[in-house]
């Protein structure tokens, strides 16, 4: 991405601060070489739940972008990528399976190109400051604001108009406190590292808005103590880096997002799938009976999803998904599926091979790699928490 380059002239994406959806209304401000020298280095943070082997949606929507950010970052920029296992337990988990999934996710992060010598890669639960900051932020988080968040509603299959204060379904044990306060922990994850930029998909914009809101609220209640740079707040409101990939949809229900929770394994392609499995799943992907190939997500979601997958797997094939569809307009559906399957297999095979090698320990013990990440993450986290404790009166002074 061009704004990562430390060359002059350059442009840096600066998020505005509207009342909603800041990531959808970014402006771009250009700096000359002299003013660029005054910009502090970026701190990039993002996290992913340990759900086992990632699928194509995880890879194209987040993981490949994380590796690209790492590879294009300047030496003074910090990158932190977390396996957010505390978020995972907002719903019931089998302990043995969760332990295995954490290993598989770490092996996957290394397989997509994340380098523990360049990025801090760690498990959230191993850094206790996440939970500590979450509690402090919870004491000032608005119940009304949290009630409007989408996470608990989607997990309970409730309409977006649902309220925790008047829905009969929520009088049962269905809504747990952890699920309801999930956004506060997510905000703590980000703010703990003085994160300046968070790479996310469009569906996460609400959580970034909440993180900005809770950071601003904390800084207003607890201004920084006298220091050489009093204008720097204790918690940094983060900006957004939108992932260039759109949401990848289910192969069997192309109006729904690709998900590991789908009971039908044919709905998703995993980064470890064999050539045979990829071709079989793409061949059975739901499309339509309309002649020719065209890109129209509303009326032809299945075909458009296949076009999106091929375009995002190899953006060199066309200037856009729409242009790719035009190139293929005379193809049969069978021929399109063969091309999509071939593109996926060629690009995903090396990732799957590295994943298997990582699980075998060919690149080092996963527990040792996680420990290195924990040390790096906790050092930065504790630096922030010392200031937070001092600000709220939880230090000895």
- Check pLDDT > 60 for residue 11: no
Reported as type and span, the H/E element at residue 123 is strand 120-123
- Let me know if 256 is a catalytic residue: no
- Let me know if 155 is a catalytic residue: yes
Q: For residue range 69-122, list pLDDT tens digits in order.
A: 999 999 999 999 999 999 999 888 999 999 999 999 999 999 999 999 999 999
Residue 228's pLDDT band (boundaries 50, 70, 90)? Answer: low
Contacts of 379 (CB under 8 A, 6+ apart): none
Question: In the prediction, which pLDDT does 10 show?
Answer: 31
- Check pLDDT > 60 for residue 2: no
The CATH class of the 265-360 domain is mainly alpha
Q: Specify the pTM.
A: 0.85
Q: Which of 155, 176, 326, 339 is catalytic?
A: 155
Q: Which of 257, 283, 326, 339 is catalytic?
A: 257
Q: Which of 68, 103, 176, 260 is catalytic?
A: 260
Kindly indicate whether the domain formed by 43-225+233-247+364-392 is annotated with CATH number 3.20.20.70. Answer: no
Question: In the prediction, which pLDDT does 335 show?
Answer: 97
Q: For residue range 42-84, list pLDDT tens digits in order.
A: 999 999 999 999 999 999 999 999 999 999 999 999 999 999 9
Q: For residue range 236-277, list pLDDT tens digits in order.
A: 999 998 877 778 999 999 999 999 989 999 999 999 999 999
Parallel, antiparallel, or unpaired: how do β-strands 10-14 and 27-31 relate?
antiparallel
Q: For residue range 157-211, list pLDDT tens digits in order.
A: 777 777 776 655 555 567 788 888 899 999 999 999 999 999 987 666 777 888 9
Q: For residue range 264-315, list pLDDT tens digits in order.
A: 999 999 999 999 999 999 999 999 999 999 999 999 999 999 999 999 999 8
Assess contact for 133 and 192: CB atoms under 8 A.
yes
Question: In the prediction, which pLDDT does 364 show?
Answer: 84
Cα–Cα distance, 349 to 344 (Å, whole number): 8
Burial class from Cβ neighbours inside 10 Å (0-12, 13-18, 19+) for residue 230 reads exposed
- Every domain of the chain and the residues it spans: 43-225+233-247+364-392, 265-360
């Amino acid at each position: 991405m061009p704004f990562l380059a430390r060359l002059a002239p350059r442009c840096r994406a600066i998020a505005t601060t509207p009342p909603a959806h800041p990531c959808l209304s970014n402006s771009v401000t250009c700096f000359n070489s002299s003013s660029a020298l005054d910009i502090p280095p970026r701190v990039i943070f993002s996290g992913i739940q340990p759900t086992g082997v990632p699928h194509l949606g995880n890879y194209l929507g987040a993981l490949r972008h994380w590796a690209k950010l790492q590879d294009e970052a300047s030496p003074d920029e910090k990158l932190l990528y977390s396996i957010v296992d505390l978020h995972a337990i907002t719903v019931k988990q089998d302990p043995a399976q969760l332990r295995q999934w954490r290993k598989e996710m770490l092996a996957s992060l290394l397989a997509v190109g994340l380098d523990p010598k360049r990025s801090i890669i760690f498990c959230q639960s191993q850094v206790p400051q996440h939970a500590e900051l979450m509690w402090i932020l919870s004491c000032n988080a608005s119940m009304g604001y949290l009630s409007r968040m989408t996470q608990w509603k989607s997990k309970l299959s409730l309409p977006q108009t649902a309220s925790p204060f008047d829905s009969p379904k929520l009088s049962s044990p269905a809504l747990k406190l952890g699920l309801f306060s999930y956004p506060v922990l997510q905000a703590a994850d980000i703010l703990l590292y003085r994160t300046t930029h968070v790479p996310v998909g469009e569906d996460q914009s609400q959580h970034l808005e909440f993180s900005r809101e809770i950071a601003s609220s904390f800084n207003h209640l607890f201004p920084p103590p006298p220091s050489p740079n009093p204008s720097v707040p204790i918690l940094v409101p983060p900006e957004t880096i939108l992932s260039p990939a759109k949401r990848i949809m289910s192969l069997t229900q192309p109006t729904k997002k690709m998900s590991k929770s789908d009971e039908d394994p044919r709905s998703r392609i995993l980064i470890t799938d064999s050539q045979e499995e990829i071709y079989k799943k793409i061949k059975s992907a739901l499309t339509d009976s309309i002649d020719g190939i065209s890109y129209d997500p509303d009326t032809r979601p299945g075909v458009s999803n296949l076009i999106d997958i091929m375009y995002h797997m190899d953006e060199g094939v066309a200037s856009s998904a729409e242009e790719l569809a035009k190139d293929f307009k005379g193809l049969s559906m069978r021929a399109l599926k063969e091309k999509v399957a071939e593109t996926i297999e060629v690009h995903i095979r090396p990732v799957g091979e590295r994943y298997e090698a990582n699980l075998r320990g060919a690149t080092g013990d996963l527990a040792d790699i996680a420990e290195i990440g924990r040390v790096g993450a906790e050092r930065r986290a504790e630096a922030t928490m010392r200031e937070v404790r001092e600000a709220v009166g939880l230090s000895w002074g």
